[in-house]
Amino acid sequence: MADIDVEQVLNKLTVSDKVDLLSGIDNWHTKPLPAHGVPSLRLSDGPNGVRGTRFFNGVKAACFPCGTALGATFNLPLLNEAGRKMGDEAKAKGAHVILGPTINMQRSPLGGRGFESLGEDPVLAGLGAAALVNGIQDTGVQATIKHFVCNDQEHNRNAMQSIVTQRALREIYALPFQIAVRDAAPAAFMTAYNGVNGTYCSENSDLLDKILRKEWGWDGLVMSDWFGTYSTTDATNAGLDLEMPGPPKFRGELLRFNVATDKVPRHVLDDRARNMLNLVKKCAASGVPENAPETTDENTPETAALLRKIGVESLVLLKNKGGILPLRKDKKTVIIGPNAKTATYHGGGSASLAAYYAVTPFDGISAKLTTPPAYTVGSHSHKMLPLLGDQLTTATDDDTDTEIPGMTMRVYNDSPDVMTLAARECIDAIPLTKTELLLIDYNNPKLTSPLWYATLTGTLTAPATGTYQLSLVVCGTARLYVDDELVVDNATVQRQGDAFFGSSTLEEIGSIPVVAGQRYAIRVEFASAVTSKLVGNNVLFGGGTLRVGGVLQIDDPAAEIAHAAALARDADQVVICAGLNADWETEGYDRSGMDLPGHMDALIAAVAEASKGEVVVVMQSGTPVHMPWVDGVAGIVQAWYGGNETGNVIADVLFGDANPSGKLSLSWPRRVEDNPAFLNYRAEAARTLYGEDVYVGYRYYEFCRREVLWPFGHGLSYTTFGLGGLVVKTEGGEGDDDELKKELVVEVTVTNTGDVKGKEVVQVYVSPPKAVGGKVNRPLKELKGFAKTRELAPGESETVSVRVEVKYAGGYWDEVRDEWCVEEGRYGVVVGTSSKEGDGVVRGEFEVKETFWWKGL
C-alpha cells in the first residue's frame, strides 16, 4: 500500500471526494479514491482476536484470552507481546486497523460486555491498553481504542445517557483513555453508543474536541461504533471523522448538502478528511495491500505457545486450602461439569470468532493423566441449548462414505414448498461445525433476490437413551425436522427475543426420544430475513440469523447430581468445570444476577460434601459469579474465557506444570447487592445515574468497609513471597518546588520465600493526605502502578521499580477549576500483592510541598 502526501492529496480533493472518505462502503472497508492514490482500509473486530471480514463462516483466527483475563496478567511486557501477535494476526486477515482494545470500566459485575475490558481500575486498564496498542502499532497495523466513553452497560445502550459527575468522568471513565494516549498514541478512537450528560458521544464536542483533541493533544481518527452515528451536522462538527459501517446513513448526500449550505463549514470538512488521510498514511507501514486475502498463516506453534503463556499468566488461584493443588497425574480423577467438554473460549457479540482450534478442559486435563478420568455432566448451565453442530456429522461431497463433524448448509433461490429438494438448484454448499449463523455478510452472486432459502442437514448419533431437546432461534423463518417429522416450528408464530443483538426470535424448543447409538437425520429449513414475522430490529442483518441448538435432556436433575456425587466419593481427585458462556456474557444485554445457571450451585455443594471438601472448582466467567459453596471446597481457580489454549492452560496450572501468577482484575463481591452500582445499573427514562461517583470497585468496598469474597488484585501462588527494602522517593524537576515535573519512584525487593519457582505482582497504591481541610472526599487508596517480577527460583530476590508522575499519583479532578488538583501534604504509599491491607504490606510516604493544578497529559 503506497504512502501518500496528506496535504497534497487533500488540496486536490473535491468536496464530494472528501465526503466519500468519511463513511464506510460496507461493514469493514473505507472508501478508496484510486485517482488520488488513496486505498481502501480494512477494519476488523479485535477485543480478543482478529476476526477478519466475516461474521458468517469466517476464516479461522487466534483467539486470545478475554479482556479481564488479559488484565489479570498484570504483565505489561507480555501484553505488548500479545499486541504484536494481534498485529500479525491482522496482517493475516488483510486488516489495517484493529477495533480494540476495549477499556470501559466495569461499574457492576453484571455488564454484558464486562469480559471485554481489562478491569475495574483505570490505571490497570490504561497501562494495559497502552501496552497492547504499542504492540499492535509496532507491526504497522493501527489500533482503535474503545468505547469513548461510559459504555458500561448494554441495557438500552443506543438510547441512554450516562449521567456522571465531571470528577467521576475524569478520574474513572476517561482516565484509561488518557493514559493510553499519553503512553501509546492509538491511531483511532471509537465513540460509545450512549450519551454523556445529555449529548451522544458521537456528537459530543466536549469529549471529542475539548478533551480528546485540545486538552490531550491527540491527532488521530475518531470513528463511530457500528450504527452509533445519530446525526449529520452535529456529529461532523463535534469531531466524528468516520461513520461506520457503510453505506452511510448520515454522511453521503446528506453531508454534501449540509456542507453546501454551510451547516458544516469547509474547514471542518477538511479536518475530518485530513484525519482520515492521516490514518491511511499510518496504515501504509503495515505493508498490507488493499483488499488482501484472509489466511490462517499465523496458525503456528509459536502462536499457540504465546496464547498458552498468556493464558497461564491470566489464571487466578483464588483458594488452595490444604495445598490441594497442584493435583497428581497418577491419581484416580473424576471431571464433572458442563464446561468440561465444551471449549468455552470467548464471550459473545463482536468479540466472538472462529478459532483455529479450541482445547476443552476435559481434553487438557486428560492429556496430563496416566489413566483416563471418569466424567459426568452433573448439571447443565446453558441459557440457550448448546450449539448442535459439533454434536452431528455430515457427509462429504466426494462420493465416499466419509463423514465430518457438523452440518452441511445448501443454499437455494427456490422455496422447498415450490418444488422437491432434489429438483431445486443448489447454488452453494457450505460445511459448518458452528450452528450459530449471523448472515449479515453472506452473499452469493447466484442469489436472485433478498428472499432465499437454505437447507441444513446432519446426522445425530444418540450418546445415550433418553430425551433429546432441539431448538431454533432465527431472524427469518425456520423449521427443524428429525427423520422428516417436524419437531420445532419457528416460522408459523414468532416471538421477539434478544439474541443476535436483539434481532431474532426467542428460542423455540422441541424434543424427541432417542436410543443410545441410533442415528437420526436432522434437517433445518431456513428462509432469509425478509420472511421474518417480527416487528423488531431485524433490518441490520442482511440474510438473517439462525441458531440451531440441542442437548440430551437431564430428566432427573437430582439423580444426575447424586450420580456426580457418587463418582466424586470414589475418586482421589475431583475437578468441577463450571461457569458461564457466550450466551450469558455477551454484547446486547446484561446479566440479571450473579448466580450460576441451572443446578450448578447444588451440584458443586453436593460433590463437595461427598468428597469431604477435597474438590477443585475451575470457574470460567469473564466477570464475578455468586459462590455460596465457597467454604465447602478446597480449591478454586478463576480461568476466565481462555482462548484457543483454554484446556491446556487450565491443565498446566492444575497439575503444577505452571505456577499461577494472575491477579483479579475485578473485585469479587459476595452478593450482587453489595456492588456499588447495584441501585443504578439499568437505564430508566433513557438515562443511567452513576450514583456511586468515583467509588467504583475496590474504592467503594474499602471506603464503605464492605467485605468482599476476594479483593481486587488477589491471586495465590504455589510458592510464597516476601516484600522488603522499600524505597520511596521523588525525582526530577528543576527545583524543590517544581512539583509538576517530579516523578514518584517506588522500589521494593521481592523474595521467593517458598520452594517452587514463580512470579509475583507488586501493586503500588497511594493514599491521599490525612490533613484536615481537603476539598473533597477521596478513596482510601488508589492503584497508581504495578510490576510483575521475572520468574524467581526459591530463595531468589528481585528489586522492582514502579515510576509514576507525581501529578498522576496525587491528582483528583477539581470540578470548580476544571483541572487536576494535587493538594499539599504527605501522601501514603501502600505496596502489596493485592488491594487488601494486611500482613506482607510495606508502607512509605512522599510529600507535596505546595498545592498545584494541571491539565493535559
- Rounded to the nearest 10°, the torsion over CA 496, 498, 503, 508 is -50
Answer whether 288's CB lies under 8 Å from 93's CB.
Answer: no
Q: Count Cα atoms within 13 angstroms, Cβ side, for 767.
A: 16
| Side-by-side strand order, sheet with 825-832 | 782-788, 761-767, 825-832, 842-848
Reference 189, options 153, 219, 229, 156; nearest CA is 219
Strand 687-689 to strand 161-163: parallel, antiparallel, or no bridges (unpaired)?
parallel
Write the single-letter amino acid at 474: V
Per DSSP, helices labelled H in 121-248 are: 122-138, 166-168, 175-184, 205, 233-238
Count CB atoms within 10 A of the CB of residue 204.
26
Burial class (CB in 10 A: 0-12, 13-18, 19+), 3: exposed
Name the packing angle between helices 76-92 and 301-314 (round to 10°): 140
Answer whether 391's CB lies under 8 Å from 438's CB.
Answer: no
Number of residues assigned to the chain: 857
Nearest-angstrom CA–CA distance, 54 and 439: 9
Strand 466-475 to strand 195-196: parallel, antiparallel, or no bridges (unpaired)?
unpaired
What are φ and ψ of residue 76, in 5° steps? -65, -40
Burial class (CB in 10 A: 0-12, 13-18, 19+), 137: buried
Reference 205, options 220, 222, 193, 188; nearest CA is 222
DSSP state of 32: P
Who's near 565: CB < 8 A, 6+ residues apart?
606, 607, 609, 610
C-alpha cell at 535: 416487528
Per DSSP, helices labelled H in 153-265 are: 166-168, 175-184, 205, 233-238, 253-260
Reference 189, options 244, 113, 111, 131; nearest CA is 244
Has 225 been annotated as catalytic? yes
Question: What is the separation of C-alpha 9 from the centre of its chain, rounded to a whole number of angstroms?
Answer: 38
End-to-end, the C-alpha distance of the chain in Å comes to 33
Nearest-angstrom CA–CA distance, 488 and 480: 5
Nearest-angstrom CA–CA distance, 819 and 778: 16
> Any bridge partners for residue 457, and if so which?
408, 523
Nearest-angstrom CA–CA distance, 75 and 78: 5
Which residue is associated with the grid cell 480423577?
333
Reference 573, options 628, 617, 603, 605; nearest CA is 617
Label residues 481-515 b or e (16+ Cβ within 10 Å = b): bbeeeebbebbeebeebbbbbbbbbbbbbbbbebe
Label residues 138-171 b or e (16+ Cβ within 10 Å = b): ebbbbbbbbbbbbbbbbbbbeebbbbbbeebbbb
Q: Choose, from 121, 225, 601, 674, the residue flagged as catalytic.
A: 225
- Rounded to the nearest 10°, the torsion over CA 614, 618, 623, 624 is -10
Answer whether 537's CB lies under 8 Å from 570's CB.
Answer: no
Answer whether 184's CB lies under 8 Å from 137's CB.
Answer: yes
Q: Three-class SS string for 736-754?
A: CCCHHHCEEEEEEEEEECC
The residues annotated with a catalytic role in the active site are 225
